[in-house]
C-alpha cells in the first residue's frame, strides 16, 4: 500500500484480503501501525511522525523491518500466497527497501496507491475511523482531530507519489484516485494482479444496504429433499407476502431484486410486485446424482458419498455435481456486481446464501458450509468502516429447519483418505442426472407465466467456473 494517512489504505487492505481469501488465495494483512503500537506503548502526539525526529524514525524503520520479516515467514513457511503490507510507504527510499526485500526473496510486488485530495472525504475518514484508534483512546475528539491532521502534514512534506510515467514506469501498480473516480494501472504482471485490479475498480464506499434471504419454504423442504425445482409450500407463500410488507416498510430507494432461475425464488419475488433479475449463478449448489433425495436416501444409496461430504463439506463435490468451492467460483461475478450496486435484495438458496454471507462476514472455508441461514429470515447487511454489520430479522412465518450441524467426526479433522481436490472427479459412478424440468414445453410454460421478471445471464465466466443449468442444495 502507498498513500498519506486517512486515504483508505487499511480499508482497501482489509477488503481486498477478505476477497482474496474468499476466492481461495491465502492472504494476510501486515499493518505496520500495529507493530508501531506494540513497540511504543503510549502514543503522545504527532511529534512522533515528524521527519526530523531521528529516534522515532529509527523505531518506525525497525517496525517496518519486523513486519517484512513476518511477511517472509508467512509466504515461505505458512503457505501464504499474498501478503498485504499496509503502511504509508510514501517515500521512494521506503519503497526501494520493499523492492530490495522482494528481490532477495523472489517475491513479486504490486503497489496500490490511494490518492485523495478532497478535504471532506479525508475529514470524514478521520472522524469515522482514526479517532477511535488506540492512539486516541483517552483524547477528546477535537484534540484528536487536530493532532491527526498535523500527523498528515508530517507525511505530506516528504510524500513522493508513484510516478508511472517516469521514475516508476517499470513497477506494477494501480493508483486509486478520489475513492474510485479514476484509476491508473501500470504493468500488470499476472492473473492475480489482474483480478486485484478488476476488484478494486468495482468497489465503492457509498452507503447502502444488502438484504439476503432464502426463498419461501418449498414443497421439497417439507419432504426433506435437497435440490430440485419445486414450488412454494403454503407457508412459503405466506413468507413471500410477509417479505413484500417488509420491503415496503424499509422504504428503500431504487431497490434491486435478484433471484435464481429456480421456481421457488421466482415465486417468492413475484409477491413483491417489483421488477427483478434472474441470475443463473444464484441457482442452488448442484447435488448431482443426489438431486431430489433426502439425506436418509443419500446415506442408504450412496453411503460413501454421505461419509465423504461430512469429512470436508467445503471441498467435497457431488458426483456429477458441485462443491462449495465450485459454488464460490460461480458466485464471484455476483459479488462483483453486489460491490458495484447500492441497495439490493438477493433471494437465493441455503448454500448460495452461505457463500455470499461468508464473503461479507469474512468467514473461512471451514466455517462457510455450516453458517446458519434459516428459512423465512432476512439478513440485513450494512457495510461499515472495516467490515459489515449484520442484523437477522425473522418474519415470524413458521418453516422447517434445513440446517445440518457439523458431525462430531468432522470436528476431529479431515480423514487422510479424503478426496479433497474438487477439480478431480470423484471415483463414484456417475449415472445420468435427473433433468430439472421435464420438457422444453414445461420450461416455456413456466417462463411465460412470469411476465414481470427480467432474465439476466451472468456476463462473465472465469476459468474453472461451473455454469451448467443444474445448480441446487446445501
Q: How many CA atoms lie within 13 A of 387 on its CB side?
A: 7
CA distance 201 to 32: 25
Cell of 167: 521514475
Q: How many CB atoms lie within 10 A of CB 123?
A: 14
Residues marked as catalytic: 86, 116, 215, 284
Among 339, 312, 290, smallest CA distance to 411 is for 312
CA distance 412 to 363: 19
User: For 149-180, b where at least 16 C-beta lie within 10 A, e where not — what string?
Assistant: bebbebbeeeeeebebeeebeebbbbbbeebb
Residues 6+ apart with CB under 8 A from 222: 233, 400
Do residues 451 and 264 make contact, with C-beta atoms less than 8 angstroms apart?
no
- Main-chain dihedrals φ then ψ at residue 157, nearest 5 degrees: -60, -30
- Judged on CB neighbours under 10 Å (0-12, 13-18, 19+), 120 is exposed
Amino acid at each position: 500500500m502507498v498513500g498519506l494517512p486517512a486515504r483508505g489504505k487499511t480499508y482497501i487492505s482489509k477488503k481486498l484480503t477478505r476477497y482474496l481469501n474468499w476466492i481461495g488465495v491465502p492472504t494476510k494483512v501486515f499493518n505496520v501501525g500495529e507493530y508501531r503500537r506494540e513497540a511504543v506503548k503510549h502514543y503522545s502526539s504527532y511529534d512522533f511522525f515528524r521527519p526530523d525526529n531521528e529516534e522515532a524514525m529509527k523505531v518506525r524503520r525497525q517496525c517496518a523491518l519486523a513486519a517484512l520479516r513476518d511477511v517472509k515467514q508467512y509466504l515461505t513457511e505458512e503457505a501464504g500466497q499474498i501478503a498485504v503490507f499496509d503502511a504509508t510507504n510514501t517515500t521512494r527510499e521506503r519503497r526501494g527497501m520493499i523492492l530490495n526485500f522482494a528481490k532477495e526473496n523472489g517475491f513479486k510486488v504490486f503497489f496500490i496507491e490511494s490518492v485523495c485530495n478532497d478535504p471532506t472525504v479525508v475529514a470524514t475518514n478521520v472522524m469515522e475511523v482514526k479517532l477511535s484508534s488506540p492512539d486516541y483512546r483517552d483524547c477528546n475528539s477535537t484534540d484528536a482531530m487536530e493532532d491527526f491532521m498535523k500527523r498528515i502534514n508530517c507525511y505530506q512534506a516528504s510524500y513522493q507519489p508513484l510516478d508511472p510515467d517516469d521514475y516508476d514506469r517499470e513497477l506494477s501498480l494501480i493508483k486509486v484516485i478520489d475513492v474510485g473516480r479514476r484509476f491508473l494501472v501500470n504493468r500488470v504482471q499476472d492473473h492475480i494482479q489482474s483480478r486485484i485490479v478488476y476488484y478494486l475498480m468495482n468497489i465503492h464506499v457509498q452507503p447502502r444496504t444488502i438484504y439476503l434471504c432464502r426463498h419461501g419454504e418449498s414443497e421439497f423442504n417439507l419432504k426433506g429433499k435437497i435440490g430440485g425445482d419445486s414450488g412454494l409450500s403454503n407457508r412459503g407463500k405466506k413468507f413471500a407476502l410477509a417479505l413484500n410488507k417488509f420491503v415496503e416498510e424499509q422504504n428503500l430507494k431504487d431497490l434491486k431484486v435478484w433471484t435464481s432461475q429456480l421456481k421457488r425464488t421466482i415465486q417468492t419475488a413475484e409477491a413483491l410486485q417489483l421488477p427483478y433479475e434472474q441470475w443463473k449463478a444464484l441457482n442452488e449448489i448442484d447435488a448431482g446424482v443426489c438431486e431430489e433425495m433426502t439425506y436418509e436416501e443419500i446415506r442408504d444409496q450412496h453411503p460413501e458419498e454421505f461419509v465423504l461430504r461430512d469429512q470436508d463439506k467445503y471441498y467435497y463435490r457431488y458426483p456429477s455435481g458441485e462443491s462449495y468451492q465450485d459454488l464460490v467460483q460461480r458466485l464471484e461475478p455476483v459479488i462483483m456486481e453486489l460491490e458495484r450496486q447500492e441497495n439490493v435484495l438477493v433471494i437465493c438458496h441455503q448454500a448460495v446464501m452461505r457463500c455470499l454471507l461468508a464473503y461479507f462476514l469474512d468467514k473461512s472455508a471451514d466455517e462457510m458450509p455450516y453458517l446458519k441461514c434459516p428459512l423465512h429470515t432476512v439478513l440485513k447487511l450494512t457495510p461499515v468502516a472495516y467490515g459489515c454489520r449484520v442484523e437477522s430479522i425473522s418474519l415470524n412465518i413458521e418453516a422447517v429447519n434445513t440446517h445440518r450441524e457439523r458431525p462430531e467426526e468432522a470436528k476431529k479433522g479431515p480423514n487422510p483418505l479424503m478426496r479433497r481436490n474438487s477439480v478431480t472427479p470423484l471415483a463414484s459412478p456417475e449415472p445420468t442426472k435427473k433433468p430439472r424440468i421435464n420438457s422444453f414445453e414445461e420450461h416455456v410454460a413456466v417462463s411465460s407465466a412470469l411476465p414481470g421478471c427480467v432474465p439476466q445471464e451472468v456476463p462473465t465466466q472465469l476459468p474453472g467456473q461451473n455454469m451448467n443449468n443444474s445448480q441446487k442444495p446445501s
